[in-house]
Amino acid sequence: MAVRVFTLEEANEALSAVRPLVARMVERARALAAAQARQATLHGHIAGNGGDLTPSELAAAAAAVQAERAAVSGYVEQIHALGVQVKDLGLGLVDFPSVRDGEDVLLCWQLGEDAVESWHRLDEGYAGRKPL
């Protein structure tokens, strides 16, 4: 599949579709982390002595992890289908492939920002963000 290349204007226009998907992705990623923590707690309890856990508690914890993982994956796929790269699930960080002064770069946006206002070279990542 060919990589979509965005102008700054196109990236900012795409935010109307990207923003709600990223918000839901972050929400589901947090729910996934909570479900995984719950599952780990139950497994730790079992390793201790098992106590009064029921098989249904373990099954429910596993099902919650699986459901949240599927939800996160679905949002990532929807974002990728728009030509946008997901960089950090927890921060809601995404990149829009672009060209700046003849060089392939990434326009960078994070959930909570009003518009795409940063960019970085392909090899720099989040730490290399520069204002546009």
Domains of the chain, residue spans: 8-131
pLDDT of residue 1: 61
Q: Which long-range contacts (CB under 8 A, 24 or more apart) does 22-27 make?
A: 22/75, 22/79, 22/92, 22/94, 22/111, 23/92, 23/111, 24/71, 24/75, 25/72, 25/75, 25/76, 25/79, 25/86, 25/89, 25/92, 26/89, 26/90, 26/91, 26/92, 26/111
pLDDT of residue 56: 85
> Could you list the mean pLDDT of each consecutive 10-residue stretch along the chain, which spans 132 residues?
90 98 98 94 72 78 95 98 97 97 96 97 91 93
pLDDT of residue 76: 98
pLDDT of residue 126: 85
pTM of the model as a whole:
0.89
pLDDT of residue 49: 67
pLDDT of residue 47: 64
